[in-house]
């Protein structure tokens, strides 16, 4: 497979995978949502090699998920901030955290707890239908080919 054109496949999952579908990128995004912004901070908290961190940050900037914002003029220094496109990845990250909480836990309990500021309670993320508000389950969903997929593609 040509990973370099995965973001042009007629499949929204492939396109997303092209951008965030590797281990380091997902871990970097976790740090972003925990308010980490600087190269050294990512590097020391993730123990990622500097080379790969540099690569991944460039890629995330290229795809419009992070913005590289100067915070010092001399010497020139930048920090990496989530754009709206990046903030919109939150459901993906939270869905992964929730699955990990549910299926990969150990006897020590959850590593992190999440509080919803609006209601003040500790919560779990739940995925619902935009139309009827009910909780979604895979078996209740039927898939149709949309306009972006010629039937031939399968």
Partner DNA sequence: TTTGACAGTTCTATTTTAGAACTATAGCCT
Partner DNA sequence: AGGCTATAGTTCTAAAATAGAACTGTCAAA
For residue 112, the minimal CB distance to its own copies (Å) is: 5
For residue 97, the minimal CB distance to DNA (Å) is: 21
Task: Examine residue 96 and tell whether it contacts its own copies (CB under 8 A).
Answer: yes
Q: Of 54-62, 71-79, 142-150, which part binds its own copies (CB under 8 A)?
A: 142-150
Task: Examine residue 146 and tell whether it contacts its own copies (CB under 8 A).
Answer: yes
C-alpha to C-alpha distance for 103 and 9, rounded to whole angstroms: 31
Residues 12-41 within binding reach of its own copies (CB under 8 A): 12-23, 26-27, 30, 33-34
Give, in degrees to the nearest 5, the angle at Cα 122 between 120 and 124: 125
C-alpha to C-alpha distance for 66 and 82, rounded to whole angstroms: 5
Helix (H) or strand (E) holding 81: strand 77-82
Q: Which does 14 bind (CB under 5 to 8 A by kind): DNA, its own copies, none?
A: its own copies
Of 103, 123, 105, 104, nearest in space to 113 by CA:
123
93 in Cβ contact with 30 (< 8 Å): yes
Region of residue 64 (phi > 0: left; psi between -120 and 50: alpha; otherwise: beta): left
Task: Examine residue 57 and tell whether it contacts DNA (CB under 7 A).
Answer: yes
Task: Examine residue 13 and tell whether it contacts DNA (CB under 7 A).
Answer: no
Task: Examine residue 90 and tell whether it contacts DNA (CB under 7 A).
Answer: no
Backbone phi, psi, residue 67, to 5°: -110, 140
For residue 18, the minimal CB distance to its own copies (Å) is: 8
Q: Of 45-53, 54-62, 73-81, which part binds its own copies (CB under 8 A)?
A: 45-53
Contact residues for DNA, defined by CB under 7 A? 1, 3, 22, 24, 38-41, 48-52, 54-55, 57, 68, 71, 74-79
């Amino acid at each position: 497979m040509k990973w370099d054109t995965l973001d042009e496949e007629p499949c929204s999952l492939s396109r997303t995978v092209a951008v965030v579908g590797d281990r380091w990128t997902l871990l970097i995004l976790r740090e972003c949502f925990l308010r980490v912004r600087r190269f050294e901070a990512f590097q020391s908290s993730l123990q990622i090699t500097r080379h790969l961190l540099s690569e991944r940050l460039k890629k995330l900037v290229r795809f419009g998920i992070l913005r590289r914002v100067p915070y010092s003029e001399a010497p020139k220094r930048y920090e990496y901030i989530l754009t709206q496109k990046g903030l919109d990845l939150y459901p993906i990250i939270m869905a992964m955290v929730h699955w990990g909480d549910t299926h990969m836990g150990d006897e020590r309990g959850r590593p992190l707890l999440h509080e919803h500021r609006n209601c003040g309670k500790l919560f779990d993320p739940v995925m619902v239908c935009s139309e009827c508000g009910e909780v979604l389950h895979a078996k209740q969903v039927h898939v149709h080919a949309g306009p972006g997929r010629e039937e031939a593609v399968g």
